[in-house]
């Protein structure tokens, strides 16, 4: 839904996240996009995140401050407990000059933020990232030391949870979070200019591609992303018609995927390029995107493809069915069962054999992105959420109490 932008007073915002660009993933990229847009609107914004070797402790970027906490620096065994302390104290020390604390991912930094804000009137907004088995709170309980004790405190203590798609409401409900404490705000995308055929061809040549069509698969090279399905489906296409498949991203599966791409049935038609800072340049000249993940929250790659007018073949997952159900015609995604190369091959052939229909699918996806996922509209919704929470907290403001009870002074 497109929302009208309103003039509101600048806010003092603290965004808390485990890692932040240049350390990159889907959640991190979304966090940076939101920070840039909020800062461009005049909000006073600081990012609190972990320090990693090679990065500075303080950095000004795009109008906001990034502060990286040391967290025991190079002592791996102490890093996690030190992170808990540093995030908690870091948030607590900033509360007197902060209107809203925004946390990205409902994992241990969110617990620290809730603990730090306990007894104050500062709202803590926690954005969820993944879904299903990888849902943030489920992962916190399963994968982090003491996480199962953090989950109930985080679930009770956060002022609002942000779900990026409706299916996350079910995940949140399983942890006892009431619907009234959930706001649905999707991930946002910057809407790129659509290249004319001449500029598109020139950019494609500059990137080193001449064969058409160009298929793109974006994402970390890890098992849950399902790249093997994309490779096996691509191998089933007739060689003379398949074009080129490009895998962009890094991860532990890169050597195995590169070895599979070098086998005779794929050799010369698949490129495993690793991570590329200019991934959006590749997307701007791609003919199709493949998104074969086994689980997703709300895929950045899919939203970016829709915004670029690129037809998408994607796994039949709740987040992708949500996109299909938003009313665009024709539906902007071709959905296939995860892990079924034969069905994926059929969907890919249907696009190859109907180029006019494929163009309609791409245009439908672009219109959907403009209406529901433009970064400006998504940021409007965050501003409205913050304003509503501040209005509610001002009507029931109470003096801030200390994080730990003070002992009475001896007389």
The CATH code for residues 197-372 is 3.40.50.2000
Q: Is the dihedral of CA 128, 181, 188, 10 positive or negative?
A: negative
Examine domains 12-188+374-395 and 197-372 and report if their fold is the same. yes
Give the model's pLDDT for residue 396.
56
Q: Distance (Å, rounded) from C-alpha 169 to C-alpha 157?
A: 17
The region, left, alpha or beta by phi > 0 then psi within -120 to 50, assigned to residue 249 is left
Give the model's pLDDT for residue 1.
47
Q: Is the dihedral of CA 144, 67, 53, 275 positive or negative?
A: positive
According to DSSP, the β-strands at 58-61 and 64-69 are antiparallel
Q: What is the pLDDT tens value at each position of the chain, 411 positions in all?
A: 444 455 578 999 999 999 999 877 889 999 999 999 999 999 999 999 999 888 999 999 999 999 999 876 667 778 899 999 999 999 999 999 999 999 999 999 999 999 999 999 999 999 999 888 889 999 999 999 999 999 999 999 999 999 999 999 999 999 999 999 999 999 999 999 998 888 988 999 899 888 789 999 999 999 999 999 999 999 999 998 999 999 999 999 999 999 999 999 999 999 999 888 778 899 999 999 999 999 888 999 999 999 999 999 999 999 999 999 998 899 999 999 999 999 999 999 999 999 999 999 999 999 999 999 999 999 999 999 999 999 987 765 444 333 334 444 444
CB atoms within 10 A of CB 56: 9
Domain layout of the chain by residue ranges: 12-188+374-395, 197-372
Give the model's pLDDT for residue 404.
37
Q: Distance (Å, rounded) from C-alpha 109 to C-alpha 121?
A: 19
The CATH code for residues 12-188+374-395 is 3.40.50.2000
Whether 386 contacts 127, CB under 8 Å: no
The structure tokens listed for 304 are 């970016």
User: DSSP states of 187-235 as a string?
Assistant: --B--PPPPPHHHHHHHHHHTT--SS-EEEEES--SGGG-HHHHHHHHH
CB atoms within 10 A of CB 172: 23
Q: Is the pTM of this model over 0.85?
A: yes
The structure tokens listed for 73 are 């620096």
Give the model's pLDDT for residue 24.
74
């Amino acid at each position: 839904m497109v929302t009208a932008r309103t003039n509101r007073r600048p806010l003092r915002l603290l965004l808390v996240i485990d890692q932040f660009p240049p350390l990159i993933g889907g959640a991190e990229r979304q966090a940076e996009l939101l920070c840039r847009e909020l800062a461009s609107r005049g909000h006073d914004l600081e990012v609190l995140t972990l320090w990693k070797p090679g990065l500075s402790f303080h950095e000004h970027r795009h109008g906001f401050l990034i502060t990286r906490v040391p967290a025991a620096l190079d002592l791996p065994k102490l890093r996690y407990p030190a992170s808990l302390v540093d995030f908690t104290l870091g948030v607590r020390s900033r509360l007197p000059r902060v209107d809203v604390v925004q946390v990205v991912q409902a994992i241990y930094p969110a617990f620290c933020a809730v603990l730090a804000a306990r007894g104050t009137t500062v709202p803590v907004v926690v954005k969820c990232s993944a879904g299903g088995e990888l849902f943030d709170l489920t992962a916190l309980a399963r994968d982090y030391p003491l996480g199962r004790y953090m989950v109930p405190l985080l679930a009770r203590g956060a002022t609002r949870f942000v779900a990026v798609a409706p299916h996350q409401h079910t995940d949140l409900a399983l942890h006892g979070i009431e619907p009234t404490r959930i706001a649905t705000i999707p991930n946002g995308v910057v809407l790129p200019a659509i290249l004319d055929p001449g500029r598109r061809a020139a950019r494609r040549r500059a990137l080193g591609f001449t064969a058409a069509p160009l298929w793109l698969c974006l994402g970390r090279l890890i098992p849950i992303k399902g790249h093997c399905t994309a490779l096996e489906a691509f191998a089933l296409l007739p060689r003379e018609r398949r074009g080129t498949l490009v895998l962009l991203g890094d991860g532990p599966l890169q050597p195995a995927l590169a070895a599979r791409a070098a086998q005779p049935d794929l050799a010369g038609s698949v490129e495993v390029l690793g991570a590329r800072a200019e991934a959006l340049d590749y997307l701007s000249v791609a003919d199709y995107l493949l998104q074969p993940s086994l689980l997703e929250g709300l895929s950045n790659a899919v939203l970016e493809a829709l915004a670029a007018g690129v037809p998408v073949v994607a796994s039949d997952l709740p987040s992708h069915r949500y996109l299909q159900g938003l009313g665009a015609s024709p539906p902007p995604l071709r959905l296939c069962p995860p892990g079924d190369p034969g069905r994926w091959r059929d969907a890919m052939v249907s696009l190859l054999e109907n180029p006019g229909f494929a163009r309609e699918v791409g245009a439908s996806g672009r219109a959907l992105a403009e209406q529901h996922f433009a970064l400006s509209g998504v940021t409007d919704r965050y501003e409205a959420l913050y304003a509503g929470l501040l209005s509610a907290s001002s009507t029931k403001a109470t003096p801030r109490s200390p994080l730990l009870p003070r002992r009475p002074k001896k007389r």
